Amino acid sequence: MAACSDHPNIECLTYSAVREVSGNAGDFTVTVAKRPRYINESLCTGCGECTEKCPGKVPDEFNLGLAKRKSIFFHFAQAVPRIPVIDPTACLMLTKGKCGVCQKKCGAGAIDFKQTEQLVKARVGTIVVATGFDIYDASLATEYGFGRIKNVLSSLQYERLISASGPSGGHLNKPSDGKPAHKIAYVLCVGSRDITSNNYCSALCCMYAAKDAMLAREHDAGSESFVFYTDTRCSGKGFWQYFEKARSEYGVNFIRGRVSRITEDHSGNPVMWYEDTKQRRAKTLTADMVILANAIVPAFGTDKLAAMLGIELDKFGFIATNSFSPTDTNRDGIFVAGCVGGPRDIAEAVAHASAAAARAAETVTREAAVPAIGNRG
C-alpha cells in the first residue's frame, strides 16, 4: 500500500467512488466522487490525537463488529494514507451540531466539518477494475446458526481474533463467555459448492482453514483442531505439502464430510452434525468455537460498476473474462485484476494484476494520444 501511494506515477484517490465513465480505449473520461472525510488532507499529519478523545462508540467494521471504534477513526492501523475519516452517521457534530472535541484536539487545524463531496474528472487511456470481493453472509446459511449461536464465527472474524493486534490481543476467546477456546472446528464450503447459493468453489478456503487450524495449534499446543471438508483443493504451489504438514506435524484433524447443521448445547457450545464419510457414520462433534469458511462472492456494487463501464458479468456476478485471456473483459481497454473476476489467492492475484498492467500498457502504447495520468479535465 505504501509503495503504491508513494509511487510518483500513481495518484491514489481513497474514500472515492466512480460515478461516470465515458469514452473508449485510449481516451476514457472518468468522474470520481471523493466522499468528504471532514479532514483537510493536506494539513493532517496522521498523529491520531483526534481519535483519542472522540466520545463516539460504533461497531468497528475492520474488526467485523468484534470491537468498537470512534466516530473519527482510522480504518485500520496501517491504513494508507494515514488520514482519519469522520463517520457522518455517528459524529455528534455532524448529526447534532455539538461536540467538536476532535477539532479542539487537532494541533494541525485539519478538521473541517464543512467539507462536501468533490467531483474529480480524469482522462485515462485504460481502466483496470480491481474492486475485490465480499464474503458470503453466513447468516443466509441458516442451518449453521451464524448470528444466532455466539460461538459460531466467520473466517474473517477469526482472522481478527488470532491477530496479535486484534481486539482480543491474539487470544482465541469464546465470544459467549470470554474464556479460551480449546476445541475449534472449521467448516468449509459455506455458501459454495452449493447450487442453492453458489455452485462454484471458493478456491481459497481449504488453504486458509489449514492455516487457521495450524495457527490455533501454535497459539495453544493443548488445543484441538477439526477441519470439515468435501474435497481438499490443494493445487497451488506447495499447497498439498502444506496440508500434509498440518495433518502430520500439527495434528490437525481433517474430516471428510459436509456439516449438515450446527446446534447449540446447554452450555452454549456449538454442536456440528455431520457424516464422517470415510467411516460412513453420522456423528456429532461439540466444539468450543466454530469457524465458517464463507464463500468469496462478488463485491457489493460490482453489477452497478460493470453497467457503468459497459462490461459483462458472469453468471455468478463476477466480471466475465475470457478463459484464455483471464484479464480481459468484453470491452477493449478495460481489464480486471484479482478477485473481481472470481476467487484467487494472493500469489495468483498479484500475477494476475501484473498481467492486467501489461494489457493496460499495451493499450496506452497502442493508442497514439496517450493522456497524462491524472490529467484532470
Partner 1 sequence: MSIQLQATKKQDPPDEETPRIGVFICHCGANIAGFVNVEEAAKYASSLPDVAFVQKNLYTCSETGLREIKTAIKEHKLNRVLVASCTPRTHEPLFKSTCQEAGLNRYLFELVNIREQCSWVHMQDPVRATEKAKQLIRMGVARVALLEPRQEITVEVTRKALVIGGGVAGISAALSIAASNIPVILVEREKELGGLLRDVNKLYPTLGAASELVDEHVKKLQKAPLIKVMTRAKVLNVSGFIGNYKVQIDSAGEQIEDTVGVIVVATGARIMIPNGMYGYDGKNVVMQTELERRLKDGSFSARSVVMIQCVGARVPEREYCSRICCMTAIKNAILIRETYPETEIFVVYRDIQTFGTLYEEDYRRARELGVGFLRYGLAKLPAVDEGGVTVYDELLGKNVRIPYELLVLSAPLVAPEGVTELSKMLKVPLDANGFYLEAHAKLRPVEFATDGVYLCGCARWPCDIGDAVYQGRGSAARALIPLRKGKVYAEPLYAEVNPNVCRDCRRCVESCPYSAITTVEETVHGYQRTVSKVNPVLCKGCGACSVLCPTGAIGMKHYDNTLIMAMIGKAF
Partner 2 sequence: MTTETTPPVETTTLDPGFKHEVSNQPGGENLKVCFACGVCTAGCPVSEIDPSYNPRRIIRMILLGMRERVLSSDAIWLCAMCYTCYAHCPQNVKFTNIMSVLRNMAEREGFVKPEFVKLIGNVDDLSQRVRRRMVLSVLKNKESMKEVDVKKLLADAAKEEG
> Applying CB under 8 A, does 193 fall inside the site for partner 2?
yes
Residue of 165, 277, 325, 330 that binds partner 2 (CB under 8 A): 277
Q: Which of 262, 250, 254, 253 is nearest to 233 (CA)?
A: 254
Alpha-carbon distance of 192 to 229, in angstroms, equals 12
Alpha-carbon distance of 250 to 247, in angstroms, equals 6
273 contact choice in partner 2, partner 1, none (CB below 5 to 8 Å, kind-dependent): partner 2
Residue placing its CB nearer to partner 2 in the complex, 191 or 333: 191
Residue placing its CB nearer to partner 2 in the complex, 153 or 189: 189
Distance of closest approach, residue 278 Cβ to partner 1, in angstroms:
5
Neighbours of 277 (CB within 10 A): 12
Distance of closest approach, residue 233 Cβ to partner 2, in angstroms:
13
> Applying CB under 8 A, does 233 fall inside the site for partner 2?
no
Alpha-carbon distance of 306 to 297, in angstroms, equals 15
> Applying CB under 8 A, does 234 fall inside the site for partner 1?
yes
Pick the stretch among 46-54, 175-183, 216-224, 262-270 that binds partner 1 (CB under 8 A). 46-54
Q: Which of 50, 35, 47 is nearest to 88 (CA)?
A: 35
> Applying CB under 8 A, does 359 fall inside the site for partner 1?
yes
Pick the stretch among 131-139, 169-177, 220-228, 338-346 that binds partner 1 (CB under 8 A). 338-346
- In the window 172-211, what residues touch partner 1 (CB under 8 A)? 193, 195, 199-201, 203
Residue of 275, 332, 348, 367 that binds partner 2 (CB under 8 A): 275
Alpha-carbon distance of 27 to 334, in angstroms, equals 11
Alpha-carbon distance of 335 to 10, in angstroms, equals 18
> Applying CB under 8 A, does 365 fall inside the site for partner 1?
yes
Alpha-carbon distance of 82 to 88, in angstroms, equals 19
Torsion of the alpha carbons at 279, 282, 283 and 284, rounded to the nearest 10: 140
Residue placing its CB nearer to partner 2 in the complex, 142 or 165: 142
259 contact choice in partner 2, partner 1, none (CB below 5 to 8 Å, kind-dependent): partner 2
Residue of 161, 259, 309, 339 that binds partner 2 (CB under 8 A): 259
Provide φ and ψ at 281, rounded to 5°: -135, 135
Q: Is the peptide bond before 59 cis (omega within 30 degrees of 0)?
A: no
Continuous H helices in the chain: 2-6, 49-53, 92-96, 101-105, 155-162, 205-219, 239-248, 302-309, 346-366
Cell of 321: 473474462
Distance of closest approach, residue 337 Cβ to partner 1, in angstroms:
9
Residue placing its CB nearer to partner 1 in the complex, 221 or 346: 346
Question: CB-hemisphere CA count at 13 Å for 257?
Answer: 21
Q: Which residues bind partner 1 (CB under 8 A)?
A: 2, 6, 42-43, 45-49, 52, 82, 107-108, 193, 195, 199-201, 203, 231-241, 244, 256, 277-278, 280, 314, 316, 318, 323-327, 342-344, 346-348, 350-355, 357-359, 361-362, 365-366
